[in-house]
Amino acid sequence: MTEAASFYTPQSRFTDPRAMAWWFDGVGADLPSIHAAACSLVFHYTANGDITRHGFAAGRIGEIDERYADVLLERLHELDPAPLSGGRALTDRVVGCCRDSTLLLVALARHHGIPARARVGFAMYLEPEWALDHVVGEVWDRNEGRWRLIDAQFAEHGALDVLDVPTELFLTGPQAWTQCRAGLLDPDRFVVSPHRREQFLRSWPQLAHNVVQDLAALNKHEMILWDVWGLLDDETVDAEELAPKLDALAELLQSPDVMPERIISLFAEADWRVPETVVSFSPAALGPVHVTLRPG
């Protein structure tokens, strides 16, 4: 795994803590310490009901659109400058989602020289009978010679080992797409939330979205979950035309050991690569917003 380790150890433009890197030094370089810090930094914007019920000002919902680790860290430091390893009050966390917890986990791991990446897919363990849109970290375990799935949103979650999530309980976007296309799983189980009725947040549209998001994450473009680009942002593309393209892409991304050069070559295609400007359908905005990304 030397090649993959060298690719996933340096920070990306999204995970780079920049001037806040010094704050990471106080977190232990072992995986439990990294996870304990990461899972105490973000308050999920919907999982606990309205954020104002927990003491947050309503305007803080805008924090969910912060996409860079250094910006999140600056906000966290403004809220509470205490060491990251010490835990913090709920309202001293940034308002975000699983993507943000994972971004900070990956940033911390990379800071300590540990190969890590984000994976976009579906958790089978959050609600019975449903596969929910979710992002987890994947960290290289040098001792066991394998990638380990880590859920950074939770300090614990029932009997689940959040430091080693079983691969059958979290399906990456490509795995979920392939299994649904093969008739092994029901696509209608795959949703952002069982309570959201918008069709683009359910079934095949959401499955397609997470294939493309996962390819971006594998290329160290840790995007916000409501970003769209390429074919996903092209209203002229017919669903029957898109499916075979996604079949081929998902098939190539099935293996956890797919090499970086192959991932990079796939991402170079105009259909999938992240452009300088993406469209973001933020839950905090009244409509779609065009966002120009930092230079890579």
Q: CA distances (Å), 192 to each of 99, 189, 196, in order? A: 13, 10, 7
- What does 146-191 look like in DSSP terms, one character per residue? EEEEE-SS-S-BTTB-TTS--TTTEEEHHHHHHHHHTTSS-GGGEE
* Helix, strand, coil percentages, rounded to 5, for the chain: 40, 15, 45
Q: Average pLDDT in the 275-282 region? A: 96
Q: Are 85 and 27 in contact (CB under 8 A)?
A: yes
Does position 48 have pLDDT exceeding 70, yes or no? yes
Distance CA 180, CA 176 (A): 6
3-state secondary structure of 268: coil
- Higher pLDDT pick, 152 / 5: 152
Looking at residue 17, what DSSP letter applies?
-
Q: Are strands 190-191 and 131-141 parallel, antiparallel or unpaired?
A: parallel
Mean pLDDT of all residues in 189-204: 92
Binning pLDDT at 50, 70 and 90, where does residue 290 land?
very high
The single residue listed with the structure tokens 């400058």 is 81
Q: Domain ranges in the chain?
A: 2-292
pLDDT tens digits, residue range 110-121? 999 999 999 999
How far, in Å, are 77, 165, 168, 260, 261 from residue 171 at the CA level?
A: 34, 10, 7, 20, 23
How far apart (Å, rounded) are the C-alpha atoms in residues 20 and 229? 30
What does 54-120 look like in DSSP terms, one character per residue? GT--GGGGGGGG---HHHHHHHHHHH--S-GGG---GGGSEEE-HHHHHHHHHHHHHHTT--EEEEE
Q: In angstroms, how far is the first alpha carbon of the chain from the final one?
A: 25
Query: Model pTM?
Result: 0.96
Task: Name the amino acid, one letter, at 163.
Answer: L
User: How confident is the model over 225-258, as pLDDT tens digits?
Assistant: 999 999 888 877 777 788 999 999 999 998 877 8
CB contact at 8 A, 65 and 280: yes
**Which residues, in sequence order, are CB contacts of 86 under 8 Å at separation 6+?**
none
Residue 1 has pLDDT above 70, yes or no: no
